[in-house]
Amino acid sequence: MEKELENKINQEVKAILSEKRYMHSLGVMKKAEELAKKYGVDVAKARLVGIAHDMAKEMSKEEKLEYAEKNSLPVDSIEKVNVGLLHGKIAADICKKKYNFTESMCKAIEYHTTGNENMDLLAKIIFVADKIEENRSYKSLERQQELEEMRKMALENLDKTVLYLIDSSLTYTIQKKELIHPDSISTRNEIIIELFT
């Protein structure tokens, strides 16, 4: 049953995404499976979320805003400026209505870009898999070495990996003078409380 659904979503994702984004989605599915096995999470669910997580990524800005309005999805002040952030919420909504994904699966899709202080294990797995899957690479040797370290870290401590990825993303966002979504800050704070207090 889940295999049939996975094949169906795979075909739909392949049809709507660019080759590069589709390969990324396959990579996230594969990495999510690896991490799900390591941390005792339902592998079939992790694979489904992995392949589906970016299905709204390549919608235009107008399409994203229109979808959010038509489907009564909340759009915060940061998302109004950085509309690209909505792709997680939209993909989660599509998967809930079209494929009957569980709440945990939908939240994992919704949270995969910014994080969220209420992330469960599946959400953390997708958050990490999205950033370290095998097709990710960097031009600079330093960033590539950092990526390899994160891949090792992910198999040792998921929370530390989420924290590392958020810190890295925040540093990059600050350097670019871009907006920081409050969910990234609250996720970071929650993990620091869990790890160090």
pLDDT at residue 174 in the model: 96
pLDDT at residue 197 in the model: 86
3-state secondary structure of 171: helix
pLDDT at residue 143 in the model: 87
How far is residue 27's CA from residue 133's CA, in Å, rounded to a whole number?
A: 5
* Contact yes or no for 31/50 (Cβ under 8 A): yes
How far is residue 20's CA from residue 135's CA, in Å, rounded to a whole number?
A: 9
For the chain, domains (ranges, CATH) are 2-196 (1.10.3210.10)
* Spans of the chain, pLDDT less than 50: none
pLDDT at residue 101 in the model: 98
3-state secondary structure of 178: coil
pLDDT at residue 138 in the model: 84
